[in-house]
Copies of this chain bind each other. A is one copy, B any other.
């Protein structure tokens, strides 16, 4: 087991997984598969890491192209808890081990090395779902977007990743705000330096154990997040007006005199009705802010893949837009997220200056990670004892795991069905159609009188089956697609739960140890009471979140099943109608 340390290790070895050719003039470093390199800076952002090769050359390499060998360094960052937490060391989830496997690890197995015992967090029995929601979110699809894992590097053409790096260097993007942090090389100001690499896979909890919150003496900062007692149990405070937004109108923009291209999406909130333009990287920035801030309490679903190849193709743009829309809708629907400052910032771009100021402020937010629980306030809800807390947590864990299985199962079957409906099945209908038409044209050659009625009808029947072939091939886009997208979205969302639940489990373990710690004089009885109360608050937060999840799930599955079945009915009715017409052309003799 990797030991969780607060010491900041400076250099780390990494193995190169794939060849990468540096683009000249971009500060990149060419690397070869199998080569060992030394990480010199993991905090570059945008998918890049600074590394040194054996010749001493330093440059940037794509983080997905390498595998880091050693336990990752970890710094506690700006808001280190003001108390000695070393007694928790052996029970912490190990961000080091998670960071180490950032090239495709399994969120369900993250707690394998966690010695804290109690719950089994090992969901490793997933047969096919060992990717995170993010990296595999496109994988169900048989189209060209199915293999985003192998990041393709910025070498070839004008490239959004490259763009991001350009931003860092020149356009006052992340780098500018980072430069504003005196001495800190962190991209975000408030959190651990090793976070970036694991950010996509491990929400806030990993940068600071739940004890940061459980024993925090600091007053809560930021907007309060109340939890009320609702009909179905603890619920978030829902706004009167349900925010939504429309992601539309993707436009190709360019900079550097047209040398660099990117796609901008128009995002229009229903509140203001004023469109703002955002590139994918802005969505990604928002995602990372939300993950940092809320990830411990609220599963933040990943964005659609950061695909590089073919990202200027119309179909890809359309698909990405659709998924960004899905993601935004989900975020809008969440009362906590939609009302958050950073989310509102994203929806209300006024001018560049305002945007940059807002970004900087968001990046400096200190109430992130587990500290978000400090802003949660159960209203009129009695403190829960630890057994209840544990039961609820276990229940949600079981449910989300079971649903994850069910969703993946459906995706697997849906994917096979998609392939059959777009591949062999229409081909077969087409061949049936051709066979009828072929027979018809043989019949035409008979020279026999009175042949025309049959041959016309047979040709029409043949054409009908060719039309059916086309309908069959196009149908999945009309129904299965949405069923798949919804389940895919849920797969991504469910993929966040082990982490969210993990924070709660870790907290429960801490509270369980409180007696021992009091006995050992490590904490005061008052600290213990605080811990227990805060675990109760965390549980209300989790329950509110689960109730939010359930209510959305019921809505989403009702809607998608209705849509699916409605389209299926239309599909079969149209086939029947076409065949009825074909049938009518044959004469009864």
User: Which chain A residues have a beta carbon within 8 Å of chain B's beta carbons?
Assistant: 231-232, 395, 398-399, 402-403, 405-407, 409-410, 413-414, 416-417, 420, 424-425, 428, 431-432, 435-436, 438-439, 442-443, 445-451, 453-454, 457-458, 461, 546-547, 550-551, 553-555, 557-558, 561-562, 565-566, 568-569, 572-573, 575-576, 579-580, 582-583, 586-589
The chain B residue sitting closest to A451, CB to CB, is B554
List of B residues within 8 angstroms of A561 by Cβ:
457-458, 461, 586
CB of A550 within 8 A of CB of B232, answer no
For the complex, what is the distance from the CA of A231 to the CA of B432, rounded to whole Å? 34
18 contacts between A and B (CB under 8 A): A232-B449, A399-B445, A402-B442, A406-B438, A409-B435, A443-B553, A443-B554, A448-B551, A450-B554, A454-B554, A454-B557, A461-B565, A554-B589, A558-B586, A561-B586, A568-B579, A569-B579, A572-B573
Closest 3 CB pairs of A and B: A565-B583, A572-B576, A448-B550
List of B residues within 8 angstroms of A428 by Cβ:
413, 416-417, 420
CB of B554 within 8 A of CB of A566, answer no
A413: which of B403, B435, B557 is its contact (CB, 8 Å)?
A: B435
For the complex, what is the distance from the CA of A395 to the CA of B445, rounded to whole Å? 9
CB of B558 within 8 A of CB of A454, answer yes
List of B residues within 8 angstroms of A580 by Cβ:
565, 569
For the complex, what is the distance from the CA of A457 to the CA of B560, rounded to whole Å? 12
A555: which of B417, B420, B447, B589 is its contact (CB, 8 Å)?
A: B589
Which of A395, A428, A551 has the largest number of chain B CB atoms within 10 A? A428
CB of B458 within 8 A of CB of A557, answer yes
For the complex, what is the distance from the CA of A438 to the CA of B425, rounded to whole Å? 26
Interface of A is mostly: helix
Q: How near does chain B come to A463, taking the closest CB pair, in angstroms?
A: 13
List of B residues within 8 angstroms of A424 by Cβ:
420
CB of B420 within 8 A of CB of A438, answer no
CB of A413 within 8 A of CB of B395, answer no
For the complex, what is the distance from the CA of A438 to the CA of B589, rounded to whole Å? 51
Q: How near does chain B come to A572, taking the closest CB pair, in angstroms?
A: 4
List of B residues within 8 angstroms of A417 by Cβ:
428, 432
CB of B442 within 8 A of CB of A406, answer yes
List of B residues within 8 angstroms of A413 by Cβ:
428, 431-432, 435
List of B residues within 8 angstroms of A587 by Cβ:
558
CB of A583 within 8 A of CB of B562, answer yes
Q: How near does chain B come to A206, taking the closest CB pair, in angstroms?
A: 28
List of B residues within 8 angstroms of A448 by Cβ:
232, 546-547, 550-551, 554
For the complex, what is the distance from the CA of A582 to the CA of B561, rounded to whole Å? 10
For the complex, what is the distance from the CA of A443 to the CA of B551, rounded to whole Å? 11
List of B residues within 8 angstroms of A572 by Cβ:
572-573, 575-576, 579
For the complex, what is the distance from the CA of A402 to the CA of B391, rounded to whole Å? 75
CB of B562 within 8 A of CB of A231, answer no
Q: How near does chain B come to A435, taking the closest CB pair, in angstroms?
A: 4
CB of B450 within 8 A of CB of A406, answer no
Q: How near does chain B come to A233, taking the closest CB pair, in angstroms?
A: 8
For the complex, what is the distance from the CA of A346 to the CA of B558, rounded to whole Å? 66
Q: How near does chain B come to A511, taking the closest CB pair, in angstroms?
A: 23
15 more A-B residue pairs beyond the given contacts A409-B438, A565-B579, with a C-beta to C-beta distance below 8 A: A406-B442, A410-B438, A413-B435, A443-B553, A443-B554, A443-B557, A446-B550, A448-B551, A454-B554, A454-B558, A458-B557, A558-B586, A569-B583, A572-B572, A573-B576
List of B residues within 8 angstroms of A443 by Cβ:
403, 553-554, 557
For the complex, what is the distance from the CA of A555 to the CA of B569, rounded to whole Å? 35
For the complex, what is the distance from the CA of A432 to the CA of B405, rounded to whole Å? 14
For the complex, what is the distance from the CA of A449 to the CA of B561, rounded to whole Å? 20
Q: How near does chain B come to A150, taking the closest CB pair, in angstroms?
A: 30
For the complex, what is the distance from the CA of A582 to the CA of B558, rounded to whole Å? 12
